[in-house]
Amino acid sequence: MSIRWPRVLTSTYLSRIIQNQKNPLKALHIFNEARIKYPDYRHNGPVYATMINILSTSNRILDMKQLISQMKDDSCECQDSVFSGVIKTYAKAGMLNEAVSLFKNLDQFNCVNWTESFNTLLQIMVKESKLESAHRLFLENFSKWEVKSRTRSLSWLIDVLCQKKRSDLALEVFQEMSSQYCYPTRNTYQILMRGLCEDGRINEAIHLLYSMFWRISQKGSGEDVLIYKILLDTLCEYEHVDEASDILNKVLRKGLKAPKKRRMQLDFNLCRNGRDIERTKSLINDALIKGVIPSYESYNSMAVQLYAEGDLSGAERVVQEMHDQGFTPKVLIYVAKVTALCKKGMIDEAEKVISKDMVDANCVPTVSLYNILIQGLCNDGKSTQALGYLNKMSKQLGCVPNKDTYSILVDGLCRDGNYIEASQLLEKMLANAYWPDADNFSKAIKGLCLMGRPYDAIIWLEEMISQEKMPDLCAWSSLVGSVTYDTCSVKILCNILDT
């Protein structure tokens, strides 16, 4: 396709042109050609970011690396998010040393904020068990002025250490925060509390709770309820019912500052000696729900967390209390509910949330919410039914299906053997300038070959090659097997490969 070059080229126009190219090498050619056609034109940061993202997404590492070097030579201002994305690409390709080298040389680029890159690299190194290297990176860069948010960086480090089951190290980092003139946020407390409880460090978790009372919860906030719940649930699981009861009373009195009329008097006699742990948790949850200072944030945070834990009945009680207090649930709660229902295979109930509950609440579904439901339907073998939501999304104002929507549906249709519908959906993807992944193409090609439609499969092979993508081994085997006895198909396939 020929490019219509304007009389005067702007970076915005060039970004739009290269984004519309399905072949990353064609996009790169246009990117380079622009400077030849317009001697006075200079690429800026956003154009470089667009081109680097295209090369990164298509896994063209060498071309991406060369472009980064060119961006450095041009000394144009660039955003930290560009380097964060490149670091992720290097790490995904097993090139962690390249990622570290890039970060250490950021001072050679025109970038004044390294916070996101720093946090991204730190998290990757810890996840790959490079703890000593991560610690060294942290010490060398934590105090640099280019790293803007110290609290956020420390929270990231605490989070990844907890994910690695090293809450002991995370606690040491937490205790060092005040000496670095930064203080933990509510999110930091929640991350560390979960890490300590999952590692069975109950005493440390209790001390952490008490430190909250005079740091975070001085005025009482319903948003703290999740942190309290994590510890109380853990105490129940360890059958420390009396201790849980004592701490619950302190939470209601000191943490939530609940008035006496909202403090439930609970009888745990039937729950002692581990006889009914779930009943104990349910009683504590009810006490926390009734004890919070009514606010949308407190009810929202607790409902979302309960849905995430798969506790549908507990979440519904929170939502009901929310209604009783005059608060209306918003999209975030419905997203959490649909996600939880889909995980449990309750697809009909998940559909009802969108078709009835949200309509009654005058709440409009988002693209991400539709995608969650579509994924649930496809996982349940109902891809044809899921396809109907594509039309619903298109009819809803401001709700445009994205690449994920199409990719989920193509994958689901192929799994259910609906290869013709999957092929038609691939055509719609291309029409909307969403370039399918190699996996989407490969599954469609294999399916069409199984159906005895090698010509259609070869057309998609040609499309793949035009986008600098190649099918997987199974797709190749299917293609070769389906055209072996068809001389015409063999010739077509050979012609495509020759080009």
Say which residues have a Cβ less than 8 Å from residue 425's Cβ, sequence separation at least 6.
Answer: 387, 406, 409, 410, 413
Task: Indicate if 421 and 475 belong to the same structural domain.
Answer: no
CA dist., res. 351 & res. 374, Å (int): 10
Q: Is residue 122 part of a domain?
A: no
Asked whether 251 and 232 are in contact (CB, 8 A), the reply is: yes
pLDDT above 80 for 268: no
137-146, 190-199, 428-437, 439-448: lowest mean pLDDT where? 137-146
- Mean residue pLDDT across the chain: 85
pLDDT band at 183 (very low <50, low <70, confident <90, very high): confident
Report the alpha-carbon distance of residue 241 to residue 233 in Å, rounded: 10
Cα 31 to its chain centre, rounded Å, is 30
Tokens 């009396």 label which residue?
242
Average pLDDT over residues 361-376: 94
Domain assignment present for 56: no
pTM: predicted TM-score of the whole model, two decimal places: 0.76
pLDDT at 248: 85
pLDDT of residue 205: 95
- pLDDT tens per residue across span 273-293: 556 777 777 787 778 777 777
Q: Look at 105 and 295; give whichever has higher pLDDT.
A: 105
Assess if residue 475 is contained within a domain: yes
Domain closes at, from 431, 450, 465: 431
Question: Has residue 219 got a pLDDT over 60?
Answer: no
Residue 388's pLDDT is what? 92
Helix boundaries (H) for 148-224: 150-163, 167-176, 186-198, 202-215
Q: Helix, strand or coil for residue 110?
A: strand
428-474 confidence digits (pLDDT tens): 999 888 888 889 989 998 989 888 888 888 888 888 888 888 877 77
Conformational region of residue 165, where left means phi above 0, alpha means psi within -120 to 50, and beta covers everything else: left
Among 80-94, 130-144, 263-277, 393-407, whose mean pLDDT is lowest?
Answer: 263-277
Q: 227 with 189: CB under 8 angstroms? A: yes
Which stretch of 21-35, 194-208, 254-268, 322-336 has the lowest confidence by average pLDDT? Answer: 254-268
> Domain boundary residue among 431, 449, 470?
431
Structural domains in the chain (count): 2
Q: Which of 73-77, 159-163, 291-295, 377-381 has the lowest mean pLDDT?
A: 291-295
Q: Which domain holds residue 441?
A: 437-499
For residue 250, the model assigns a pLDDT of 82
Residues 476 and 423 in one domain: no
